[in-house]
Amino acid sequence: MDRLDNTIRPYAWGSTTAIPQLLGAEPTGEPQAEMWMGAHPGAPSRTSRGTLVEVIEAGPERELGERAVAKFGPRLPFLLKILAAGAPLSLQVHPDLAQAREGYEDEERRGIPVDAPHRNYKDANHKPELVCAITEFDGLCGFRDPDRAADLLDGLGVDSLKPYVDLLHAHPQDAALREVLTAVLTADREEMAGTVAEATAACTRLGGAYAPYADIAHHYPGDPGVIAAMLLNHVRLQPGEALFLGAGIPHAYLNGLAVEIMANSDNVLRCGLTPKHVDVPELLRIVRFQPSDPGVLRPEASPDGEEVYETPIDEFRLSRYVLPEGGARHDLTRPTPQILLCTAGAVRAGEHELRPGQSVFVPAGETAEVTGSGTLFRATVVA
């Protein structure tokens, strides 16, 4: 197995302290938002044999196994991250596989450069993802029941929000949600900025259920995404709890440290809380306008101590081991590729001693015995 040297991405929304604290390092004063583990061409992990991209390209079936290559092709189909949100991420949604292929082919035909700021589809893949809290973690996930969203907006006492409140009480629910989100994102920017300012003042004054939106507005003053965010469920995960974000589900991460795993894609359509491009017509084509429970996931424990986060996705499978002091040795050998990530304590994987934030890549079929005391996340595929 290969110890991984991973890139930390300095996105502006990142915490300045969470990842350094996990790694036992001194903060640099700069935001450290995500640590990437995998073979994404934008920031592949490095090993003693070269980048993980180079290692896999040199022997796909040796590294990934015949079953994974047959199912996903000669590439690692997932990207594992440590995510540290110090400020809200953009409100966003991801396409399904058919939408991603169609959108990518359309933008290729139109000759839009892949790095163009107004390009929506960087690749032809979908991007389902799972986020698992290391610390208490706040996020937005899926639409609220429209009547509940109407009550939340009505409670602000902002006159310019009354038309949205009336629309949300209409039926059917999917049409009501579509109308309101469309109206919010296409409203006159100056008028909407005034509405957001009034709503922000009310959220700050009222606190309680409004406190998350006051914080969002503090980071994105005047952004229509503040009102759009109030249409979504607010979720607070406790350590070990997770959320699965499927295609078409609007979401945003607000604050906290987490492990995140996703299909290896960059396809994001933004709804707000960002200075980046918002393609409203394409967004409205992708969003699923259905109220839903956010569905907090708790891991299913197996007899050998593996705790699995069940999802309907084959490109990734995330589980964890909480290893007690003096516990048994665990054999994690699998016929599929794995990344093992320590987030607490000290865990020995093969010949590698892993401390929090350290990880290894385990080629398919390679012996992977684990001992020690701590928390170990295991990322692999279903093949």
User: DSSP secondary structure string, 29-55?
Assistant: SS-B-EEEEE--TTS--EETTEEHHHH
The per-residue pLDDT for range 260-310, each reduced to its tens digit, is 999 999 899 998 998 888 899 999 999 999 999 988 999 988 888 999 999
Q: 3, 358 in Cβ contact below 8 A?
A: yes
Rg (CA), the chain: 22
The per-residue pLDDT for range 229-259, each reduced to its tens digit, is 999 999 999 999 999 999 999 999 999 999 9
Question: Average pLDDT of 345-359?
Answer: 96
Q: 338, 328 in Cβ contact below 8 A?
A: no
AA identity, residue 222: G
| Catalytic residue from among 3, 75, 144, 270 | 270
Distance from the Cα of residue 46 to its chain's centroid:
23
Question: Average pLDDT of 76-81?
Answer: 97
Question: Average pLDDT of 110-116?
Answer: 93
Q: How confident is the model at residue 327 (pLDDT cuts 50, 70, 90)?
A: confident
Question: Average pLDDT of 353-358?
Answer: 98
Residues contacting residue 328 through CB under 8 Å, at least 6 positions apart: 305
- What is the chain's length? 383
Q: Which two tokens stand for residue 205?
A: 């004054």
Helices (H), ranges, 207-346: 211-219, 225-229, 280-286
Smallest Cα–Cα separation from 17: which of 82, 86, 81?
A: 86
So what's the pLDDT on residue 276? 85
Active site residue 119: no
Q: Which two tokens stand for residue 381?
A: 């595929």
The per-residue pLDDT for range 7-39, each reduced to its tens digit, is 999 999 999 999 999 999 999 999 999 999 999
CA–CA separation, 182 and 200 (whole Å): 21
